[in-house]
A and B are shown apart, each in its own frame.
Chain A
Amino acid sequence: MKLFGFRGGIHPQSNKFTTREKGIMPLPLADKLYLPVQQHIGAPAQPIVAVGEKVLKGQLLAHSQGMISAPVHASTSGTIVNIGNYTAPHPSGLSVRTIVLEPDGQDRWQENETEISVNPFQLTTDEIAARVGAAGIVGMGGATFPAAVKLGLGKQQPITTLIINGGECEPYLTCDDLLMQQRSDEIIDGIRIMLHALNAERALIAIEDNKPTAINNMTIAANLFANVKVVSVPSLYPMGSEKQMIQMLTGKEIPAKQRSSDIGIVVHNVGTAYAVHKAMRHGHNLTSRIVTVGGGAVREPQNYEVPLGTRVSELFKHCGGFKKTPARILMGGPMMGQVLPHTDVPIIKGSSGVIALTAAEIAREKTMPCIRCGSCTDVCPCGLLPLEMARRANKGDLDGAMDYGLMDCISCGSCAYVCPSHIPLVQYFNFAKGELAARQVEKQHNDVTRELAAQRQQRLDAEARLKAEAAAKRKAQRAAQQQPAPADKESVA
């Protein structure tokens, strides 16, 4: 298939060799599982279980709230021992409402006979979306956007192409690679169900060419179906970014301020396709995911099938602990991953990997002034001038940074990766984006306040007017009672 390429990009050391040949290992159940009610983009789920309640694997623990939300299910059978605030897997170290489940060791699924007897290809889009939504499936590549919402897009506008993202361009991560190597038939089935839901013509599965086994196995599995095609794409970061992947495969860009569906394209991750298969064919709600444990500090890097809610510390423990002191522990890959405050945080739906990096791998050096070498401009996949944006963001000139395209930045970090001056460009951009968001909120707040003030004034005016009218009326009445002959009086006046 003809590929179109995209602008810029970088070739970080992939370091995938440590885990990609080693298969997926099951992870023994931990003593306790910590299930945050917010594992997705959108409104947090609302707990419906009580402390002390016994639950089965896959049972609903918290239901979704509103359109953009996702439910949370029990990752195994056991007892709810607490519902409280625990540290979220986020750099802030802030806490999130979390349901704590103590496994009973039986790992018993809830009954689901009725759901799996149905052929998914006889279901409507709404029925599939409802089932996928109820299964708690979100974007498994890390975006964690509720998958059901994206499956319903075919009803709003015609979708021609479903792109399945098997890029996995982040260094170290091999969870998608192994999923594709070992569970290709299930993924293809999930893709076909998604195609049916979207009413799309074809599915393109894009896999970076540094995953030959995955490409081979997926191609074999896809061969039976004319409308599902595997495409080998160059290993170039940020291939896994939706915008860049679409451009690589179709030559089209998502027009500014629009979504991919506006040009007839929907992108889902391979892990999402697998989860859809499990939900539609086996009635299994999302209770586990594949997680890569890696990084130079880890003794035995490995991929595990992890029950959601397992703490990160458990994963490192099963990998034999650390052979070197980790300088930074991340959830996700080294390019865009989140720094974890500590390892007592749970694996959630979007956790593709937990990476413990040594100081040498981080390769952090003291920041120098910008020498305007333009490396950042050369590698930016969005055609931005990171050095100019950073200069403006740094001195608080948010409008200037916006003018240089701050909001079109995807935070991929290619610029900061190549910067010879080691300037933390993404840090600056994230700061500026945060400031802009705060400013937006403040503006909205001000607008609301102004609106309310205006309404109040109107109300007061109306009241005053009514009062004045009433007073005038009363006065007129009083006058009428006291003066039986107003007509004369009037004529005098």
Chain B
Amino acid sequence: MSETTPFSGPHTHAPRSVGKVMFSVMFALFPATLFGIYLFGWPALFLFTITIASAVISEIICLRLSNKPIGFYLLDGSAILTAWLLAMTLPPWAPWWIGVVGGAFAIFFGKHVFGGIGQNIFNPAMLARVVLLIAFPLEMTTWANPLPFTDTHAPDFFAGLDITLNGYAVDTMSSASVLGHVKTELSHGKALSEILANGYSSYSMATGYSNGSLGETSVYLLLAGGLLLIGLRIISWHIPLAMIASVFLLASLFHLIDPQHYPAADFHLWSGGLMLGAFFIATDPVTSPNSAMGKIIFGAACGLLVYVIRTWGSYPEGMAFAVMLMNAVTPVIDHYIRPRIYGYKRKRVPLSYNSEAGS
């Protein structure tokens, strides 16, 4: 029969839960992830699995320490998603301990020291990535060349395991990422047309046949996943659009001023995980603003920072730094940018129709 305690409405609920949100995001990530694993073979699959396992074990330990129901919180999928996103941004042939340290760091220090799900200030995956990048710069900037499963030179299961566990011959099988390459060559005083003359193709970058992080090379698949999330109303369009538009406008502007020094917009859009960041990382609900206007500001500022770090900073890639810097600003944005309340003007004074008709 009816409950003894009075209970306010609504007495029905949309078929949504935190778990469903998290698993929808994973679903949207699936094509790009599969492609990354296909492109970089067994070592990528091992690294991916290790990272997620590390995060899940860390989650269990943390839940245990904080006396929270383990099964209930584990099934929300947030730990898996965090590790998944982290793995997407790792060099695909990175050694096993990169995945272990990253996954554990994201869960322990990115999430649970703040109080668990929903309480963290910084995106846990990006926090872990930044820590890895600063602590292990060599491993984190060594990019294996694409070597799909179908390639005869691709490592088989045991060779792959050996790469993940013991490393590989860096010189022969890897090269700098396109962003890193351009940055180094520009600092040597070369012109852009000269640098990009051999090796760079906008097409191969967009489809993902280039070296880079495990899951951020295929622009099309990430874009499709992102649009799916917008369609499912898991994320809104504000952050991705503002971010991409901001990078596009800045890149176009500087390219127009000095085409020999500043690559064109497509180069920026197709490289370095901008799509992954714009659709899957900057949109993390916990660490991004709440209002539509706040999201636009957040996205645009992320785009600005990405461009500034890529162009003038000492790192070739700025997504993680940009997102984390803006994470820190999110509470301020949320404090000042609020939706207009019904019946009030923006300044929180009551509307009036007498003085200005039809306003």
Q: Which of B7-32 contact A (CB under 8 A)?
A: 7-18, 20-21
With both beta carbons as reference points, the residue of chain B lying nearest to A93 in the complex is identified as: B6
**Distance in angstroms between the alpha carbons of A346 and B117 in the assembled complex:** 45
> By the criterion CB–CB under 8 Å, are A381 and B2 in contact?
no
> By the criterion CB–CB under 8 Å, are A368 and B341 in contact?
no
**Distance in angstroms between the alpha carbons of A342 and B9 in the assembled complex:** 17
A369 within 8 A of B: yes
B189 within 8 A of A: no
B158 within 8 A of A: no
Chain B residues with Cβ under 8 A from A417's Cβ?
10, 12-14
Contact among A254, A371, A411, A418 for B8, CB-based, below 8 A = A411
**Distance in angstroms between the alpha carbons of A369 and B115 in the assembled complex:** 10
Contact among B2, B10, B18, B117 for A334, CB-based, below 8 A = B10
Contact among B286, B340, B350, B353 for A371, CB-based, below 8 A = B286
> By the criterion CB–CB under 8 Å, are B3 and A373 in contact?
no
A149 within 8 A of B: no
B201 within 8 A of A: no
**Distance in angstroms between the alpha carbons of A426 and B11 in the assembled complex:** 11
Chain A residues with Cβ under 8 A from B118's Cβ?
368-372, 421
> By the criterion CB–CB under 8 Å, are B18 and A416 in contact?
no
Contact among A255, A339, A385 for B290, CB-based, below 8 A = A385
> By the criterion CB–CB under 8 Å, are A363 and B13 in contact?
yes
> By the criterion CB–CB under 8 Å, are B342 and A334 in contact?
no
> By the criterion CB–CB under 8 Å, are B353 and A424 in contact?
no
**Distance in angstroms between the alpha carbons of A369 and B3 in the assembled complex:** 24
Segment of A45-53, A115-123, A210-218, A256-264 engaged in the interface with chain B:
A256-264
Chain B residues with Cβ under 8 A from A378's Cβ?
236
**Distance in angstroms between the alpha carbons of A10 and B233 in the assembled complex:** 12
**Distance in angstroms between the alpha carbons of A422 and B7 in the assembled complex:** 14
With both beta carbons as reference points, the residue of chain A lying nearest to B349 in the complex is identified as: A256
B344 within 8 A of A: yes
With both beta carbons as reference points, the residue of chain A lying nearest to B291 in the complex is identified as: A377
Contact among A258, A377, A422 for B17, CB-based, below 8 A = A422
> By the criterion CB–CB under 8 Å, are A382 and B286 in contact?
no
B339 within 8 A of A: yes
Chain B residues with Cβ under 8 A from A426's Cβ?
8-10
Chain B residues with Cβ under 8 A from A371's Cβ?
18, 21, 78, 117-118, 285-286
B256 within 8 A of A: no
B162 within 8 A of A: no
Chain B residues with Cβ under 8 A from A334's Cβ?
9-12
> By the criterion CB–CB under 8 Å, are A421 and B18 in contact?
yes
Contact among B2, B233, B290, B343 for A256, CB-based, below 8 A = B343
> By the criterion CB–CB under 8 Å, are B12 and A335 in contact?
yes
With both beta carbons as reference points, the residue of chain B lying nearest to A252 in the complex is identified as: B353
Contact status of A258 and B7, CB under 8 A, knowing A362-B12, A368-B18: no
B residues bordering A, Cβ < 8 Å? 1-4, 6-18, 20-21, 72, 76, 78, 116-119, 233, 236, 285-287, 290-291, 334, 338-344, 350-353
A residues bordering B, Cβ < 8 Å? 7, 10, 12-13, 91-92, 171, 243, 247, 252-258, 263, 326-330, 334-337, 339-342, 355, 357, 361-366, 368-375, 377-378, 380-385, 387-388, 404-405, 408, 411, 413, 416-422, 424, 426-427, 429-430
A-B pairs with lowest CB-CB distance, top 7: A91-B6, A413-B10, A373-B285, A256-B350, A256-B343, A369-B118, A383-B339
Given A252-B353, A372-B118, A388-B290, output 20 extra A-B contacts at Cβ < 8 Å.
Answer: A12-B12, A254-B342, A255-B350, A256-B350, A330-B11, A335-B10, A340-B2, A368-B76, A369-B118, A371-B18, A371-B78, A377-B339, A378-B236, A380-B339, A381-B342, A383-B341, A413-B9, A420-B18, A421-B118, A426-B9
